[in-house]
Structure 1
Amino acid sequence: MGSGSAIRGSRVGAGPMGEAERGEAAPRIRVAFYCANKHQVVPSFSHEAQIPDEWDCPRCGFPAGKDPENPPAPPKTEPYKTHLAYVKERRSDADGQAILEEALAKLRAERAAMSAALKPLND
């Protein structure tokens, strides 16, 4: 059940005058931007605003410039790298082998100490 006093199809602040109540809109300028996929976007800016050199294309997300013949190049995306790929970039195979040997030696020493500590319990 709806309320009988609800106003439908109207927004808050809208009166009988509508937009005229708020005064005149600021002067605007429309600037065309072009992306590498030949999309055109024409946002409007205030006359006082500084117009950017590039604008994001809402259709493809590529950067768009003001020159339709020479749009900005699309961003270069690199494939996802795993943690192991980053480690391999920083370390050589010899470094990796040395780290592995050190970790295995430590693990073997811990296991030997553990089995030595458990040996009197088993006797």
Structure 2
Amino acid sequence: MQNIKDWPLFIKICFGLIFLALVVAGLIEIPKLSEQQTSEQSNPKQAATELVNVDIIVVSDTAKPLENVEVRLVSKGAPEVRKTNTDGFVQIDIPARRDIEITLIKEGFKTARYTINLNNDPNRTRTYYLKPQKPK
């Protein structure tokens, strides 16, 4: 590699401008990043406990709404249990930034397990299907 002193003036100016732009960008962005980290560290429980209302509809494989389906959601601690109404509808509150496992149970139907992640799929009503158990 050549000695930098031997480079043409135009090349030296280009490298100088690129270096200056990187320094300015770093001086602008680094305080923003450290400020963001500080705010996340000061409120970790608030972010974890923020609840979002989720609508669930449970239907049979023939698309008929299923009443009294037990909807169990597991996040931390004991499972929370809800039951669907006559329209197969139930509302649950789940933490905004976590995967939540739900289990759907109804006599005469196969138990079904699903995972809800609001980061991937935020604002919509979820419809889940239960398949009837085959007679023995």
Say which one has the larger Rg: 1
TM-score under structure 1 length normalisation: 0.23
TM-score under structure 2 length normalisation: 0.21
